[in-house]
Amino acid sequence: MDMLKDLASLQFEYGVPEEDRIWLYLQGRSRGLMIEACAHATFFCKLLYNLRASLNENQNSRQLSIVSLNAATTEELKVGIIGGGHLGKQLAHTLLQLVPIPAESLRISTRRPETLGELQKLKIKCFYQNANLVSWADVIFLCCLPSQLPNICLEIQTSLSKTSIVYSFVAAIPLPRLKLLLSHTNILRPQYWYGEDSVNIWGANKEIIAALQDPTILQATCPFSPAGGIILNIKWLEGVFYAVLNICTARNMAHSQVLQLLSDLFLSMHFEDCGKDAASCPKFQLTDFVSKAYGKNLSQERPFPWFDLTAVQLRETPFSQHLSSNPLLQDHLTHLYCDSFGISLTNEQPVISTGLPSQ
C-alpha cells in the first residue's frame, strides 16, 4: 500500500468533478474541527486528572503541591463517552494515549457496541447502557447525533450527580436547551466558528494522535490562536476554570487554598521572558472569579460558591474581563496548553491572540 499511496487515481480528489472542487476545502475544515475537538477534550481531561491528584495529596498532607500536566499519577478519573461513531472512537483513542487514561477508566455507551471491536481489544468496556455509564463516570462526553440527544437526556438526567461534568459536542443543541433537557448546570460545550482566512494546515494523512504531536497543528488548536481558520469561543476556557472551582467547592476547600491551587495548576509553566521577572507573573485573586461585593463578605476559610457553568459560558463573568485584558495570563495558558502535549514554545514561536471578544 505504501507503493500505491501517491498514485493520483487513488486520491480522494481524483473522482471529484472539476466544477465541484471548490468545495474540497470542506474536507480540511471537517478534519480540523475533529482535531480541535479532540485536542481541547484531551487538555481538559489532563487538567482534571492532575487536579484530582493534587486534591488527594492536599487532603492527605494538608499542603498544596504542584502537579505537572505530564506527571503520572494514580488518581483515577472516570470518563464516559456516549456515542460510538467517528468522533466517539477518535476521542477514545486520543484520551487513551495522550492523557493517558487507563482503559479501565474509560467506557463507551453506544447503540451498536458490537462495532467497537477495536476498542474492546484495548480493554475498553463498550455497551449500551447510558444511565449506568453516567452514574459511573466523572466526565461524560456527548458524541451523539442531535436527533438522538432528547431521548438520551431523558435516560440519563436522573443518573447525573451534581458534580458530574457533561461535555457536549452536539453543536446543534444550544446550552440553554441542553440545560433544560438534562436538568443540570455542570455542562461544558465548546463552540467553534470559521475565520475569514481558512488555510488547510491539518494534514490529510496523519492520524489525530500524530497530528497533535505536530507543533504547527497543535498551536493551531490553542484556545487563543486563529491559525487554520477554526476559532474556539474563549468562553469555553472560562468554563474550564469555573469547572475546576466547582470540583474544589464539592470538597469544601477554602477559597484561599483554591486560588493557590489554580496558580499551581494553570500558571506553573514559565517561559523565558517571564523567568527574567518572576514577580510580574500573574497570580489569581478572589475578585478574578467573583464580584467585589461577594468577595468582601467571603471569609478566608469559606469555599467558592457553586457556579452554573451554562451561565458562565453565556454571560460576562468577573473572569471574562480578567482573561481578555491580560496578555501575560494568555501567554502562560498558551505555554501550559502546548507543554501538556509535550511541545514547548520558543521565542521564534510567538503566542498569537485572536484579538476577539470573549463572546
Total length of the chain: 359
Q: Is residue 183 domain-resident?
A: yes
Q: Is residue 244 domain-resident?
A: yes
Query: Which pLDDT belongs to residue 285?
Result: 94
Query: Which pLDDT belongs to residue 354?
Result: 42
Residue 56 — very low, low, confident or very high, per pLDDT cuts 50/70/90? Answer: confident
CB 243 within 8 A of CB 309: yes
Our count of domains for the chain comes to 2
Query: Which pLDDT belongs to residue 350?
Result: 46
Please classify residue 195 by burial: count the beta carbons closer than 10 Å to its beta carbon, then call 0-12 exposed, 13-18 middle and 19+ buried.
middle
Distance, CA of 53 to CA of 257 (rounded, Å): 15
| pLDDT for 195 beyond 60 | yes
Residue 11 — very low, low, confident or very high, per pLDDT cuts 50/70/90? Answer: low
- Distances from the Cα of 148 to the Cαs of 154, 174, 294, in angstroms? 10, 15, 41
211 and 85 both lie in a single domain: yes
Nine-digit cell at 225?
A: 490562536
Residue 66 — very low, low, confident or very high, per pLDDT cuts 50/70/90? Answer: very low
Q: Is residue 10 domain-resident?
A: no
304 and 212 both lie in a single domain: no
Section 108-133 average pLDDT: 96
Domain hosting 289: range is 237-341
Distance, CA of 200 to CA of 15 (rounded, Å): 20
266 and 176 both lie in a single domain: no
Residues 229-245: pLDDT tens digits?
889 999 999 999 999 99
186 and 313 both lie in a single domain: no
CB 172 within 8 A of CB 145: no
Residue 23 — very low, low, confident or very high, per pLDDT cuts 50/70/90? Answer: very low
Residues 197-233: pLDDT tens digits?
656 788 767 789 999 999 999 999 999 988 878 899 9
Which of 177, 201, 233 corresponds to the end of one domain?
A: 233
Which of 208, 233, 258 corresponds to the end of one domain?
A: 233
Query: Which pLDDT belongs to residue 202?
Result: 83
Contacts for 35 with CB less than 8 Å, ≥ 6 apart:
202, 208, 211, 212, 217, 221
Distance, CA of 62 to CA of 11 (rounded, Å): 59
181 and 198 both lie in a single domain: yes
Q: Is residue 195 domain-resident?
A: yes
228 and 247 both lie in a single domain: no
205 and 244 both lie in a single domain: no
Query: Which pLDDT belongs to residue 269?
Result: 72
Q: Is residue 48 domain-resident?
A: yes
Residues 277-330: pLDDT tens digits?
666 788 899 999 999 999 999 998 999 999 999 999 999 999 999 999 999 899
55 and 177 both lie in a single domain: yes
287 and 308 both lie in a single domain: yes
Residues 306-319: pLDDT tens digits?
999 999 999 999 99
- Average pLDDT, whole number, for the chain? 85
210 and 137 both lie in a single domain: yes
269 and 195 both lie in a single domain: no
Q: Is residue 81 domain-resident?
A: yes
Distance, CA of 104 to CA of 74 (rounded, Å): 13
**CATH assignment of the domain containing 35:** 3.40.50.720
333 or 2, which is more confident? 333
Q: Is residue 1 domain-resident?
A: no
Q: Is residue 312 domain-resident?
A: yes
36 and 154 both lie in a single domain: yes
